[in-house]
């Protein structure tokens, strides 16, 4: 039996290159290495508010039959209480949704393999509200490939995924997501 997972980013244009392999690795760790993972591109989300509204209403008709939805917004607006309420709302509609806000932005996950190159250090990058511009842009220029789709974001996340235990340590929200998925699969 296949296990289908819908990943909902704030914007799939570039985040999909990071989120799909990341979620596939997390699912493998949780016991579902052959899960079908789809990053939502239709409708194309254009920010936190648009994604949150679509999750609560428009996506239900098309994706209610999927086994798991994962919402991975940037953490700047995705507070703990708001995410818990969104999960509860979807649960009342028969949909399993796990929210996993990226601290501070999705691009941080692709930077883990290159943390020694971050001028102010890893933990400063995790608190930087402009991490994408201040940290990720330089790492992408140095280690990405502008000839590839997504500018080489896939290369960066592949490097970070080579040491998944370290990524879980550096980004505890990912370990929590893995543990929640594992628990839900056992229940």
- The answer to whether 99 and 78 are in contact (CB under 8 A) is yes
Going by pLDDT thresholds of 50, 70 and 90, the confidence category of residue 1 is: low
- The answer to whether 153 and 140 are in contact (CB under 8 A) is yes
Going by pLDDT thresholds of 50, 70 and 90, the confidence category of residue 187 is: confident
Does the CA dihedral 20-23-27-29 come out positive or negative?
positive
Q: Mind listing the pLDDT tens digit for each residue in 126-155?
A: 999 999 999 999 999 999 999 999 999 999
Say what the pTM is: 0.96
DSSP string, 51-110: HHHHHHTHHHHHHTTSSEEEEE-BTTT--HHHHHHHHHHHHTTT--EEE--BSS-TTHHH
Can you tell me the distance from the alpha carbon of 95 to that of 176, in angstroms, rounded to the nearest whole number?
19
Q: Mind listing the pLDDT tens digit for each residue in 16-47?
A: 999 999 999 999 999 999 999 999 999 999 99
């Amino acid at each position: 039996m296949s296990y289908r997972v819908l990943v909902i980013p704030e914007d799939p244009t570039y985040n999909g290159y990071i989120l799909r392999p990341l979620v596939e690795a997390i699912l493998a760790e949780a016991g579902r290495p052959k899960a079908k993972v789809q990053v939502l591109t239709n409708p194309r989300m254009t920010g936190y508010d648009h994604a949150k509204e679509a999750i609560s209403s428009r996506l239900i008709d098309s994706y209610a039959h999927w086994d798991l939805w994962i919402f991975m917004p940037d953490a700047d607006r995705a507070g703990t209480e708001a995410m818990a309420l969104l999960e509860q709302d979807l649960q009342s509609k028969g949909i399993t949704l796990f929210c996993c806000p990226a601290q501070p932005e999705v691009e941080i996950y692709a930077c883990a393999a290159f943390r020694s190159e971050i001028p102010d250090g890893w933990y400063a990058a995790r608190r930087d509200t402009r991490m994408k511009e201040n940290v990720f842009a330089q790492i992408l220029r140095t280690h990405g490939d502008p000839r590839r789709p997504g500018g080489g974001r896939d290369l960066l996340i592949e490097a970070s995924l080579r040491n998944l235990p370290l990524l879980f340590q550096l980004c505890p929200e990912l370990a929590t997501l893995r543990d929640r998925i594992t628990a839900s699969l056992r229940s």
